[in-house]
Amino acid sequence: MSDDNGEYPGERGMLGGDQVESMQRRLDIGSVPAQESPMIRIQNASKEFDTARGRLRALDPVNLDIAKGEFVSVIGPSGCGKSTLMMMLAGLESPTTGTLSIDGIDVQGPAERLGIVFQQDVLLEWRTALENIMLQAEIRKLDRQASLEQAHRLLAMVGLEKFANAYPHELSGGMRQRVSICRALLHNPSLLVMDEPFGALDALTRDQLQIDLLRLCANHRITVLFITHSIVEAVFLSDRVVVMSPRPGKIETIVPIDLPRPRRLSVRESPEFLRDIQTVTSVFESLGVLHED
């Protein structure tokens, strides 16, 4: 699976001197703190695909460390390799070059301690919400009673305890995605990877699911790699925002987000939040991805 092949301008816009100076103070290409061993280590990982038009380079070599418990968002234009990077970390795609590891173990197939959430909820229409969540337990051969108790706890945490026996067609889009997230968390993964999970939802539902996600991650102490097209979403959720260039994608820069947790929607009115939005926006302007002329 890879990103779509949308084309984007390659010309770089120009930043004023004060913008550049401000950006340099805000950008951080570094890794996790030296005293910590990264939970995720991505080293020189690239990806090429064979297509009818020949070899397509989707992702230039990427180097990225992510600490345990960190929430990292990856943002970039369509076709830049965001989803490809996520799929390689999940063990569903193999890198053309380089390595990816989780807790010091190289990723060579689907990781056991990982949960994954896609943009589409991928619920089975003939199973209830609870049964869809329990599919995780059946596949992994987990203890049924313990998994049932966990499933009910997760449903309660996202406000769906009264909809355990509802079928997908009886649920709204936001409710379906909540079920999908609960399914991904059933086996208590230490790492959650999410590919634009809220992209198809309306703004109000998206806001609520962002709050739900932050609460779930805090309660379960989960490390998250989150793929998104939304600058606002990336800044609101993250400890760091990885900004990627157009295809072949590479990490253009990493922006640390120093906003208090737990996050409240009101933080989006703060000068610090608006500053971080402008920092990421300026990078895309410099890449020619965003332009007003």
In this structure, are residues 111 and 191 in contact, taking their beta carbons and an 8 Å threshold?
yes
Quick one: which H or E segment has residue 241? Answer: strand 240-244
1-113+193-293: CATH number:
3.40.50.300
In this structure, are strands 40-51 and 97-102 parallel, antiparallel, or unpaired? antiparallel
Q: Which strands, in side-by-side order, build the sheet including 105-106? A: 54-66, 40-51, 97-102, 105-106
Range(s) of the chain covered by CATH 3.40.50.300: 1-113+193-293
pLDDT of residue 34: 46
How far is residue 163 from each of residues 152, 180, 205, 235, measured CA to CA in Å?
Answer: 10, 14, 17, 32
pLDDT of residue 18: 47
pLDDT of residue 73: 97
Per-residue pLDDT of the chain (293 residues; tens, 9 = 90+): 444 444 333 333 334 444 444 444 444 444 554 446 899 999 999 999 888 888 888 899 999 999 999 999 999 988 888 999 999 999 999 999 999 999 999 998 887 789 999 888 889 999 999 999 999 999 999 999 999 999 999 999 899 999 999 999 999 999 999 999 999 999 999 999 999 999 888 899 999 999 999 988 888 889 999 999 999 999 999 999 999 998 888 999 999 999 999 999 999 999 999 999 999 999 999 888 877 77
In this structure, are residues 95 and 107 in contact, taking their beta carbons and an 8 Å threshold?
no
Round to whole Å and give the CA distance between 175 and 209.
Answer: 9
Closest alpha carbon to 189 in 112, 102, 291, 289: 112
